[in-house]
Amino acid sequence: MTADFIIVGAGSAGCALANRLSDNPQNKVVLLEFGGTDIGPFIQMPAALSYPMNMSRYDWGYESAPEPHLDGRRLALPRGKVIGGSSSINGMVYVRGNACDFDTWEEMGAKGWGYQDVLPYFERLENATSGDEGWRGRSGPLHVSRGSLWSPLYEAFVKAGEEAGYARTEDYNGYRQEGFGEMEMTVHDGRRWSASNAYLWPIKGRENLEIISGAHVNRVLMEGKRAVGVEYMRSGQLHQLKCTREVIVSASSINSPKLLMHSGIGDAAALSALGIDVVADRKGVGANLQDHLELYIQQACTQPITLYKHWNLLSKGVIGAQWQLIKSGLGTSNHFETCGFIRSKAGVKYPDIQFHFLPFAVRYDGQAAAEGHGYQVHVGPMRSKSRGAVTLQSADPMDKPNVQFNYMSHEEDWEDFRACIRLTRELFAQHAFDPFRGKEIQPGSDVETDEQLNGFIKEHVESAFHPCGTCKMGDANDETAVVDSECRVIGVDGLRVADSSIFPQITNGNLNAPSIMVGEKAADHILGKGMLPASDKQAWVHPNWQNEQR
């Protein structure tokens, strides 16, 4: 079997690539995915989001190595092993990122990836039901919606932000990110609108697109310095698939560098030590690993207006039945319906703290709910200076890689997290919460000093599941870069990487939207059809950010 293009990974970027590359019937495209079908209520029902990320059927089951700055804790790292990839198991929060994120990418060597370059691709991918006119896409494949704000706590959170001196933003994905407002989600007609629902299933009849699930890609086949195909395992059988044009790796920020290293592309000394033949010495492969960490700040609620009243089998059954029958009710939301983006201090140019508000006091994985009614924010810094790495444990491609984030290795990380806790407490103390505020559940009002807060952070901080950066995009002369500005792997031919692993620096917010954008833009690079015309829009930046925090 021979393809023109082989795409490894049916995740956020891979699904977009499969759609765009197969749009021309002359292009034979094969999409390989290790996971299986995304059909089923655990994935498709938005409110069930805590289930698929904890099911081995849908999740690779990765975790961090013992983290030295967190007392050796191993942190969970769910990654989608299913059609749709992590967009099929994530929290469905839709955040483009801040305009300054992409301008920073360009400054770091990713030419042509500044905000005005990527904005047209965000518009192309979106079908947003609301938001700033002229800034949002209305006819793209990815449906973006807002919640019903069924609990008065949602508005209380936004109002508290205003009372604390922050602004309200009508669209954090439009002209102005900074402020408090409604959060957007990838939900459509009551269903999770994953990358597969947006990009794959509408075109499943294309004869020039073949989707092979259950395929574990072991390595890229190289002839000299040129990628000519892939080797993969399926149902216990080893297969080789050749291509005439290119192999595109969209296997995630964990599996993309892993695949490159097993293919002989990476740090030459480390590969040689494992007995892997070196094709290209690229020391940046697997390095530059970044993530967002977050804490759950929880407050008891004095009124029965939270999701806690539905935390029982009967209520869950009713919600599930209502969703199954008519796709309505509480099952249709991820329940992160309001949010905030603020700057931690004066002198920070654009937001570096994100809040997800939830009218429930519970862990993200759904494993532990507070006793009684409560509400919480997930809060954390957006631009930690800590960097980790993905490395190989052995030359066996079936072995899991070693993932060491090196979380909290900078003193600024501790300072930033203490600021997150104190700024959140200030929000929860505003008049808007007076009718609802009970005791502070977590950290607890007795946790006050820097030392006490550091202890709480060390014990309770969790990943927000936003790993990226391990195949950094940059200038071809940058020894730490893995791909150039057209996503081509530096030092070889016929091979590209297009997913969150190419981010030079982590973006502000959740990573699904910018990952899909990478797939959209990479497709135009691969097809050689020229880029969409750059925008002339300038996003909002606080006019006195040097001197004011809000």
CA 84 to chain centre: 13
CA distance 295 to 381: 10
Q: Which positions are annotated as active-site residues?
A: 466
Give CA 230 to chain center in angstroms. Answer: 26
Number of Cβ within a 10 Å radius of residue 448: 13
CA dihedral 160, 162, 167, 171 (to 10 degrees): 50
> 353, 298, 422: which is closest to 180 by C-alpha?
353
Residue 59 near residue 105 (C-beta atoms within 8 A):
no
Beta-strand relationship, 142-146 and 76-77: unpaired
Phi and psi dihedrals of 467, rounded to 5? Answer: -70, 145
Q: Distance of alpha carbon 199 from its chain centroid, rounded?
A: 17
DSSP string, 114-172: SHHHHHHHHHHHEEESSS-TTTS-BSSSEEEEE----SHHHHHHHHHHHHTTPPB-S-T
Q: Pairing relation of β-strands 29-33 and 209-213?
A: parallel
CB 321 within 8 A of CB 388: no
